[in-house]
Amino acid sequence: MPTISVLDSHLHYEDTGAPGTGPTWVFLHGNPVSSHLWRKVLPSVQRLGRCLTPDLIGMGQSGKPDMAYGYDDHARYLAAWFDAMDLQDVVLVGIDWGASLAFDWARRHAHRVRGIAFMETIVKPMAWADFPAAVRPRFEAFRTPGLGEQLALAQNQFLAGSLTATVLTPLSAADRAVYEAPYPTPASRRPLLAWPRAMPIEGSPADVVARVEAYGDWLASSHAVPKLLLTFTGSPTLMIGPAMEAWCRENIARLTVQACGDAGHLAPEDQPVRIADALLAWADTALLPAAIASGSRPAGSHRTSA
């Protein structure tokens, strides 16, 4: 399995597709899963170029250094991975915290970004009213000192609940085992608890709110970078519903929106074919090098589809 040394640890990644045929596509997962999330999407999109799917630090088969696993930690290790891999012409595809980290990295390395596709993620600081009501009590519990440690670390409730509640198509025993394998002990589950506590809700934590505000400004002003939002319906766990989609249409430059059917929050488990088809169509239009070089679409224009 490919790994590469990063800072004081290592990151695992899968490397597929055809290097040299186009930009490098980097697929970033969120919490509590791993690069395994993209397994049913990748076969259909590998003609687009080299496809890399890393595991975030502390997750999947990547290393587990002794640290807090805050947003800054993940951003540092991911940035070091991009540099160690010498990735220069990149299309980012992200979900959940993986998309948030993609936005953050793109803001700081815009000259290396060809485009960004995203789904089910954090596009702006939130109030509890913006949060999916079905999972709010669960997240409030995980954010409570002491109680969160008991639930997520000792009892492993975050992982177990997420793998059930955030998909419409039940996971097979084999796929659940892949997602569960990195977290056999309470200490190994620290990344799973750190992520819900990093959600930028009601102004806290301030460092994450600042990062989200910064990349929000970049998303609004980066007219040269095509962006694709994939949306879904049919689940109470979705982070981007109609109201947030409308916000994205108004506040993200050069955005295409593509509906991809019913899915839970871990949408690639439910709609891998629809996601792959949307990426292929977007690549054949918005990502054409000639269109990007000429800036043929007016600054701030929004190309959307239902």
Catalytic residues: 96, 120, 265
Helices 71-84 and 97-108, axial angle in degrees (round to 10): 60
Q: Cα(159)–Cα(223) distance, rounded to whole angstroms?
A: 38
Helices 71-84 and 206-221, axial angle in degrees (round to 10): 50
CA distances from 29 to 54, 201, 247, 292 (A): 8, 21, 23, 27
269 SS3 class: helix
Q: Cα(116)–Cα(83) distance, rounded to whole angstroms?
A: 18
Residues ≥6 apart with Cβ < 8 Å to 250: none
Q: Cα(259)–Cα(231) distance, rounded to whole angstroms?
A: 5
DSSP 46-92: GGGSEEEEEPPTTSTTS---SS---HHHHHHHHHHHHHHTT--SEEE
Q: Cα(132)–Cα(234) distance, rounded to whole angstroms?
A: 13
Residue type, 253: A
Q: Cα(293)–Cα(286) distance, rounded to whole angstroms?
A: 11
Residue 6 tokens, joined? 């990063």
